[in-house]
Amino acid sequence: MKQIATFIVNEKRYELAIEPHMLLVEVLRDELGLTGTKQSCGIGNCGACTVLIDGKPVLSCLTLALTVEGKHITTIEALAQGTALHPIQKAFVEHGAIQCGFCTPGMILSAKALLDKNLNPTDREVKYALSGNLCRCTGYVKIIDAVLAAAEAMSKEANT
Amino acid sequence: MSQRLSVVGKRIIQPDAAAKATGAALYASDIMVPGTLIGKVVRSPYPHARITRIDKSKAENLSGVEAIITPEDTAQWQKFDRGMKDLPMIAGGYTVPPDEGVLNERARHFGDAIAAVAAINEHIAEEALELIEVEYEELPFIIDPEEAMKPGAPQISGFAKGNIGKHMSYAFPAGDVQKAFKEAECIVEGTFSTPKQEHCTAETAAAVARLDVNGRLTVWSQCQLPHLARREIAHIFNMPVHRVKIITPFIGGSFGQRGALCAEPICVALALKTGRPVKLVYSREENFIALESRTGFQYTLRMGFQKDGTLTAMDTYMLGRLGGYMGCGPMASAIGMIFGLGHYRCPNRSGEADMVMTNTPMSGAFRGFGNPAIMWGIEQLVDEAAEKLGMDPIEIRLKNIKKAGEIANMGLRLESTYLEECIKRGAEAIGWKEKWGKTKKGTIRRGVGVATMTHCSGAAPLYLDHSNAFIKLNEDGTADLVVHPAPVGQHIWGALSQIAAEELGIHAEDINIVTGDTDVTLFEYGSDASRSTYSVGNATLIAALQAKEQLLERAAGMLGVSAQELEINDRQIFSSTEPKKRISMADVCYDAIYNFKGECLNISGKCSWESKWNSPPTGAFFAEVEVNIETGRVRVIRFVTAMDCGKAINPMAVEGQLEGGIQQGIGYGLTEDYVINKDTGVVETDNYDSYKMPGMMDMPETQVIIIDEPDPKGPFGAKGVGEPGMVGVAPAIANAVYDAVKVRIRDLPITPEKLLNALELARN
């Protein structure tokens, strides 16, 4: 039986009637049409479905939607301001860190969770923070470059 | 060829990157047409079984279920070969008998499609699957290709006598191999095996099909070969081609897997049955069992050398494991032999292969298409010969690699090769002289290894390598380029924009790529065989050249000079002799379109390009590894790829291909093994918890060296670079492991278990 639930997605409130067994990835994609969140393995191994819950990266394919009622959910759609890309998005674009692009939203959100806490990460901290996100195209090299470049850009911005 | 280039060679940002970074890019699995039903497939739990009864009544009564289809329903449609190689694409007329139905009443492998359901949402579709009752009569099955060829083995297909789907002979045999081996002063030989490897595309197979009100069928398809998909879908469903429209959305990875039809046939069948749009997205598990993955091989390989290290003879016999249907698999052996046996200068060569049908999921094309499999053996044997002859692995390779002007792997003249530079620069980057061949001690031992390879730029002369490009210039001097390579992540739109812009003297961002709709695009073979930049690029270049000729002729009239003396740069047309005589491209294009003197013309160019040539990219791969002799674990700590892929149209995109190749090659070399239970026929590795593809922490420090010398035949000197990056990775790792611990693993992947056993054997 459907239940009414309130979700705060990208700082907007949505009251939805959903089945209790619905996963967060289903609510985002099928109910709200936010298809930037991707599903790839369905068992929490690849990170493509990563979203932020209260700023922390969470696998939306393993999260029952009702458990995040009232929490702040951030999806990839929230990062750019109009056509102005978020510094992480900009870095991914400029460093060639995107090939097929299917893992990209999850990668960027994992990177955001890291950089929101630590604007000066080491190479190893970046790898560790993004190690739950699988990519089959890039060999990760340019993704790591992009995150480090974004960190630099964001910390410059923070200091000005 | 030396040209001043202003767009080609630049690290431009890809036109589609921002859409992907913001989540706006739509993939097949994101498409939602109003009224769409969700499809799901019933799959066989047995490797070989006859369906004796299907009871769909309970499922049909479930609220929200719109249709259930079984083999009985799909019998009205044509059987097909999902590799689409029944099409007249291959020189020599190699055809595959259409053998697979949309659904099949005899399951030929674990995961074969038996029935399908369309329902109003995914949960109801899944519930319906559980309610469909299928009774199976289990049949004897066969997993091992050697067993499958024995008399009395269960027969899988009506046409494959003795289960041999196809016998393939090496296409360019030469000399007298038997005599050459008798005369050889050093012979090395071995039996090698390579696994089935799954593509692990980030997006699983997905399709959306909709029957339009006018009876036309629209399919959102991930196929790498969109026009072949259109023709094949029309054929399966008894439609003329013009009633089928393929839309190519963004594709979440392919690597060859989407070179075959994937979710499309069942999705279309459900749409035709219900009259409603249907979306069918495979689960990760289905992606592992219901699609083609890399062909596994066992093969013997022999190489003969003179004392001075000159290679004189090589031969191979390859046994390849096909699945329950033929698909693209047979060509993996043909192509593997062509690339492998044709890599080094060698006067005596022969090769044969049997591609054998088994009750396993299908085998087909995966990046490199047979080349990674055969180079796995060749590059290890070359090292073994070097050791026997007291030579350095670098030295023996430099002695035998082909030079420009010799006959290349595919029987054509090698117009350019910089493999020597690749080997020398790569060796320097890895520190070969300081590191190789040193005595090792301790628990963790380091070693370095090398491997080389040659690949292709496009499919000619084996396949019909046909591409089309159409370009039209707009009234403001921008251009629309109509092409249809598959956007699988290889940055092809950017590369084609650079090629067209360079020729027209405009900027890459002045080009709009019009693509992804077979109603609009001209015929395009598609994106495989490392061909898009080379072949679609050549079509684009010539179309742009035609448009440029029209443009300059108009400009010449406007400026009162001859067209021959005109040049274009930075959107300006000017006289090379009198540079003050100039006009902007926009003014010429505007005047051509809004012309009130009776001379209207939309300046345009069109090229039907058929590649007659192939410019093989060549490359050298260097691995540095650490081997723990107590745990058997191999860790790649550094990897260097040095690639001669002609002129890099966009070096950043080329690096991305090569870096990704290293990752897939490390997976192939160390961890990726597709396990089928021999007793049950069940696939045991069907997601990332059981199948290990490399993650970020598994990657070594990498270095990519692009030689960046133009080839005479490629557009602005480019060669193909999509596939080569993974070809030599695994053998370079194997040779590095040998350097570290003096044991050889010939059976991919190099697992700790195999390595510990080999170390144990070596000690005794």
Tell me: the pLDDT tens digits for B710-740? Answer: 999 999 999 999 999 999 999 999 999 999 9
Question: Does B656 contact A38 at a Cβ distance shorter than 8 Å?
Answer: no
Q: Which of residues 84-103 of A touch B (CB under 8 A)?
A: 85, 89-90, 92-96, 98-103
Contact A90, B190 (CB under 8 A): no
* CA separation, residue B140 to residues B136, B409, B678, B680 (Å): 13, 41, 12, 10
Q: Which of residues 471-500 of B touch A (CB under 8 A)?
A: 488-491
Q: What is the mean pLDDT of each run of 10 residues along chain A (160 residues)?
A: 96 97 97 97 97 98 98 98 96 98 98 98 97 98 98 93
Contact B156, B357 (CB under 8 A): yes
Three-state SS string over chain A comes to: CCEEEEEEECCEEEEEEECCCCEHHHHHHHHCCCCCCCCCCCCCCCCCCEEEECCEEEECCCCEHHHHCCCEEECHHHCCECCECCHHHHHHHHCCCCCCCCCHHHHHHHHHHHHHHCCCCCHHHHHHHCCCCCCCCCCCHHHHHHHHHHHHHHHHHHCC
State the pLDDT at residue B618.
98
CA distance A32 to chain B (A): 12
State the pLDDT at residue B1.
41
Of A33, A48, A101, the CB nearest to B25: A101
Q: How far apart are CA B104 and CA B100, in angstroms?
A: 7
List the B444-454 sheet strands across, edge first: B444-454, B618-628, B634-644, B701-706
Q: Would the pLDDT of B92 be above 70? A: no
Q: How far apart are CA B444 and CA B434, in angstroms?
A: 18
Q: Would the pLDDT of B764 be above 90? A: no
Three-state SS string over B463-491 comes to: ECCEEEEEEEECCCCCEEEECCCCCCCCC
Question: Does B660 contact A138 at a Cβ distance shorter than 8 Å?
Answer: yes
List the B466-473 sheet strands across, edge first: B511-514, B479-482, B466-473, B604-610
Of A35, A140, A144, the CB nearest to B663: A140
A98 contacts in chain B (CB < 8 Å): 14, 17, 20-21, 489
Residue A141: CB partners within 8 Å, gap ≥ 6? Answer: B655, B659, B699, B702
Mean pLDDT of chain B: 96
State the pLDDT at residue B81.
86
Q: Which of A52-61, B87-96, B116-125 has the lowest mean pLDDT?
A: B87-96
What is the Cα Rg of chain B in Å? 27
What is the Cα Rg of chain A in Å? 16
Which of A94, A140, A142, A148 to probe the B interface (max B CBs under 10 A)?
Answer: A140
Which of B696, B701, B704, B721 to probe the A interface (max A CBs under 10 A)?
Answer: B696
Contact A97, B13 (CB under 8 A): no
Residue B133: CB partners within 8 Å, gap ≥ 6? Answer: B53, B54, B55, B56, B58
Contact of A43 with chain B, judged by CB distance below 8 Å, is answered with yes
CA distance A29 to chain B (A): 8
> What pLDDT band is residue B89 in, cutting at 50, 70 and 90?
low
Q: How many CB atoms lie within 10 A of CB B438?
A: 13
Question: Model-level pTM?
Answer: 0.97
How distant is the alpha carbon of residue B408 from its chain centre?
21
State the pLDDT at residue B96.
75
Contact of B24 with chain A, judged by CB distance below 8 Å, is answered with yes
CA distance B567 to chain A (A): 31
Contact of B101 with chain A, judged by CB distance below 8 Å, is answered with no
Beta strands A50-53; A72-74: pairing state: antiparallel
- The DSSP output letter for B76 is T
Say which residue the tokens 């090395």 belong to.
B188
Of B253, B688, B695, the CB nearest to A131: B695
Tokens of B487: 């956007």
Which of A9, A137, A142 to probe the B interface (max B CBs under 10 A)?
Answer: A137
Q: Where is B136: in which H helix or E strand? A: strand B133-138
Contact of B30 with chain A, judged by CB distance below 8 Å, is answered with yes
By CA distance, what is B251's nearest residue in A?
A100
Q: Which of residues 522-551 of B touch A (CB under 8 A)?
A: none
User: Hey, do A3-78 and A87-158 end up sharing a CATH topology, with the first three levels equal?
Assistant: no
Half-sphere exposure of A145 (CA within 13 A, CB side): 18
Query: Between these two residues, B129 and B463, which has the higher pLDDT value?
Result: B129
B660 contacts in chain A (CB < 8 Å): 99, 136-139
Q: How far apart are CA B301 and CA B314, in angstroms?
A: 7
Q: What is the pLDDT of residues B183-227, one digit of tens each?
A: 999 999 999 999 999 999 999 999 999 999 899 999 999 999 999
Which of A102, A103, A138 to probe the B interface (max B CBs under 10 A)?
Answer: A102
Of A40, A43, A98, the CB nearest to B17: A98
Question: Does B123 contact A21 at a Cβ distance shorter than 8 Å?
Answer: yes
Q: How far apart are CA B29 and CA A102, in angstroms?
A: 11
Contact B410, B457 (CB under 8 A): no
Whether the link from the prior residue into B579 is cis, omega within 30° of 0, is no
Which of A32, A107, A108, A141 to probe the B interface (max B CBs under 10 A)?
Answer: A141
Contact of B26 with chain A, judged by CB distance below 8 Å, is answered with yes
**Got the DSSP string for B80-113?**
B-TT-TTSTTBTT-------B-SS-SEE-STT-E
Domain A87-158: give its CATH code: 1.10.150.120
Q: Percent of chain B scored above 90 by pLDDT?
A: 95
* CA separation, residue B730 to residues B153, B372, B377, B663 (Å): 34, 8, 10, 10
* CA separation, residue B626 to residues A154, B405, B446, B447 (Å): 37, 40, 4, 7
Q: How far apart are CA B645 and CA B456, in angstroms?
A: 10
Question: What are the φ/ψ torsions at residue B338 (nearest 5 degrees)?
Answer: -60, -45
Q: Would the pLDDT of B686 be above 90? A: yes
Domain A3-78 adopts which CATH fold?
Answer: Ubiquitin-like (UB roll) (3.10.20)
CA distance A160 to chain B (A): 26
By CA distance, what is B27's nearest residue in A?
A102
Domain chopping of chain A, boundaries: 3-78, 87-158
Contact B373, B194 (CB under 8 A): yes
For chain B, domains (ranges, CATH) are: 17-23+466-610 (3.30.365.10), 31-139+200-289 (3.90.1170.50), 401-457+614-763 (3.30.365.10)
State the pLDDT at residue B86.
54
Q: What is the pLDDT of residues B608-664, one digit of tens each?
A: 999 999 999 999 999 999 999 999 999 999 999 999 999 999 999 999 999 999 999
> What pLDDT band is residue B462 in, cutting at 50, 70 and 90?
confident
A85 contacts in chain B (CB < 8 Å): 18, 21-22
Q: How many CB atoms lie within 10 A of CB A76?
A: 29
Contact of A146 with chain B, judged by CB distance below 8 Å, is answered with no
CA distance B281 to chain A (A): 10
Q: Would the pLDDT of B437 be above 90? A: yes
